[in-house]
Amino acid sequence: MAIRILQGHQHSLAQKEADPHINVVIDVIRAFTVAHYAFCSGVKEIYLVDTVEEAFALKQQHPDFLLAGEVNGLPIQGFDLDNSPVTFQSKNLQDKTIIQKTTNGVHATLHALDADYTLVTGFSNAKTTAKYIQGLQAHSPTLQNINLIASHPTGDDDLACAEYMKSIILDHDNITVEETIQRIEQSHVADKFFDNKNEHFSKEDISLCTVEMHELFVMVVKKKDGKPRIERLEL
C-alpha cells in the first residue's frame, strides 16, 4: 500500500502521477467539518461548485437548495448559510440539499475526482474515514494507491489530520488524538478564530473542528447528472 500526503488545492498533476485508487480531501477549518455537521443535522446531499456564479446558477435551477460557503473565509452575500460548523450544528436541515462553495476544500475535491473512491473529511470524522479505508483495502487489495490531500496550501491543521489518518490506516498508532488537536489549534489558520477583535470568526468553530465524533458514516463524492456531490454513506 502506498499512502501519499499532498498539500494544497492545486494538486492535479501530482494526483495523476500517483494513479490514485482512493483520494481523501481534508479540510478541517472548516469546509468538511461543516459538511459533517450538516449531515448530522439531516442534510441529504451536498453539491460542490467551484465559483459563486456556479452556485447561484444551480440555485436558480433548484430554488429549494440552500447555498453555503465562503470566499477567503468570509460569508458570501446572497448565500443562505456561511461556513461555520456552529451554524450547521444549531439548525434543523432535515432532507435539505446544500450547494457548497469554499476556497480550499471544495476546490481541492473538484481536482480529486479521478479515482475509484473520493472521500472528504475534517478531523471530526477522520478516524471513521481512516477505518473505512482500512476496510476497503482489506476487501480489495488492488486499491493500493491512496492520496491524503491536505487542502490548505500552508496550514498545519489539514496536514496534522492527514498524518493522523495515515498512522491509523497503517496501524502505526504513533500519532495521538491530543497531538493532532494541538497542531490544529496552534496552526496559523486557527489564529483569527482566537482573535476577539475579529468579528467574522469565532473560537467556537475551532472547538467543533477539534471534536472527534463517532457517527457511523463517511462522506463520499459521486456525480449526479454530471455534477459532483457529497453523499452520506452509512457503515
Give tens-digit pLDDT for 116-133.
999 999 999 999 999 999
Nearest to 189 by CA among 24, 72, 41, 86: 72
Average pLDDT score over the chain: 94
The answer to whether residues 115 and 200 touch, using CB atoms and an 8 Å cutoff, is no
CB atoms within 10 A of CB 12: 13
Does the predicted TM-score (pTM) go above 0.85?
A: yes
Read off the C-alpha cell for 144: 493500493
Q: Is the pLDDT of residue 15 over 50?
A: no
Q: Could you tell me the CATH number of the domain that includes residue 25?
A: 3.90.1560.10
Say if residue 197's pLDDT is above 80.
yes
Say how many domains are in the chain.
1
Quick check: 10 pLDDT over 80? no
How is residue 24 written as a grid cell? 481523501
Instruction: Give residue 5's identity as a one-letter amino acid code.
Output: I
Q: What is the pLDDT of residue 6?
A: 93
**% of the chain exceeding 90 in pLDDT:** 88
What pLDDT, on the 0 to 100 scale, is given for residue 13? 43
Q: Would you place residue 225 in the very low, low, confident or very high pLDDT band (cuts 50, 70, 90)? A: confident
Q: Can you tell me the mean pLDDT for 47-56?
A: 98
Q: Is the pLDDT of residue 17 over 70?
A: no
Give residue 8's domain range.
2-234
What pLDDT is attached to residue 11?
Answer: 64
